Amino acid sequence: MNKAFLSALIILLFAGPVLAQDALGARPMGMGGAFVGLADDVNSIFSNPAGVAAVGRESLLVSTRLRPGREYSLIGGVEQTPFGSLGIGYVGTTDPDDLAAGATPTKSTTQTLYVTLAEDLNRKMRVPDNFGHLSLGVNLKFSSRKIGTETGLYRDGGSNVDVDLATVFKPRDDLSFGLSLQNFANGQTARSGGLNTLEGSVSAVTAGVSGRLFGSALIWSLENSGLGCEWRPVSGLALRAGRDNAGNQTSGFGLNLNGFCVDYAFANNGAEPVHYWSVAIKPVETRVAAKEGPKTVSVLPDGNDI
């Protein structure tokens, strides 16, 4: 691999703003949120849209976060189309507002719709195998916020449209680099407009690298100051551990029962621990055996061409 390209990616791992990792399911959170470089399932919609191109068949993900006083839901799905891999995602949160002492407690609701399109460029052009695989992805995001009032009603808290651009480069099967430009269209001005989206409404460049060892039995991933790993001791079971960008320890596990997946993650945030649960459906690839044609027997003498 080109050394200059590798050096640039390593520098990016430790540079730039760090975004909040709320819009992630249980699998990425169990690995410390380090998913931009891995990006190989439906969770890619929310961290690195280019990874959606790696989802070979239709898949669905539903996730929730259990945290005192805060509601969180995440839904995502991927469908294969003639134009590439199409992803649709939704993230909704309800959080208590910061009020003065004695004030009536209220809550704010933020909703974000993700529309993702990704493509593996190797499917569109002939590229030598030793050049690796390059995927590109884009997110179009529509966000809105409702702010609770003391009367129990909600007022408009602003809205926003933003864009993420991302790429995944795999020089070989056991190594992957990811780069994501998040909220680059309108992120800097969204906060002054009164909207607090899930990513913090700021533009950022996030880079990550991931690798596989022992035939994919062990997966490791790095992103900014976060890191994580996933170990698969037996088929259908995954054990995860990591440290997120804030230095919090995370852990989790995953069960895959013939395409029906259940994932759990725990983030140790001090006085307020957070639990994540995800349920996903990943259709199992099936191979249809080719029918054998009728066998023919040659009755020609030896030495004759058929």
Which residue type, as a one-letter code, is found at position 296? Answer: T
Q: How far apart are CA 222 and CA 208, in angstroms?
A: 5
> Would residue 296 count as lying in a domain?
no
List of residues 6+ apart from 216 with CB closer than 8 A: 174, 232
Angle at 163 between CA 246 and CA 66, to 5 degrees: 40
- Specify the number of domains making up the chain: 1
> Would residue 268 count as lying in a domain?
yes
> Would residue 292 count as lying in a domain?
no
Q: What is the pLDDT of residue 103?
A: 52
pLDDT band at 300 (very low <50, low <70, confident <90, very high): very low
Q: What is the pLDDT of residue 194?
A: 43
Q: How far apart are CA 246 and CA 230, in angstroms?
A: 20
Q: What is the pLDDT of residue 298?
A: 39
> Would residue 48 count as lying in a domain?
yes
Q: Which residue has the tokens 């134009």?
A: 83
Q: What is the pLDDT of residue 201?
A: 58
And the tokens for 70? 């805060």
pLDDT digits (tens, 9 = 90+) for 77-129: 999 998 899 999 999 988 776 544 445 557 788 899 999 999 999 888 877 77
> Would residue 160 count as lying in a domain?
yes
Q: Where in the sequence is the domain holding 148, given as residue range(s)?
A: 3-281
Q: What is the pLDDT of residue 9?
A: 45
> Would residue 288 count as lying in a domain?
no
pLDDT digits (tens, 9 = 90+) for 167-212: 999 999 999 999 999 988 876 544 434 444 444 457 889 999 999 9
> Would residue 200 count as lying in a domain?
yes
CATH number of the domain within which 180 lies:
2.40.160.60
3-state secondary structure of 148: strand
For residues 24 and 61, the model is more confident at 61
Of 46, 17, 60, 32, the closest CA to residue 188 belongs to 17
For residues 109 and 139, the model is more confident at 139
Q: Among the listed ranges 25-34, 179-188, 242-251, which one has the minimum average pLDDT value?
A: 179-188
pLDDT band at 23 (very low <50, low <70, confident <90, very high): low
3-state secondary structure of 254: strand
Of 274, 213, 208, 264, the closest CA to residue 240 belongs to 264
> Would residue 151 count as lying in a domain?
yes
Question: Per-residue b/e over 164-199, b at no fewer than 16 CB within 10 Å?
Answer: bbbbbbbbeeeebbbbbbbbebbbeebeeeebbbbb
pLDDT higher than 50, residue 289? no
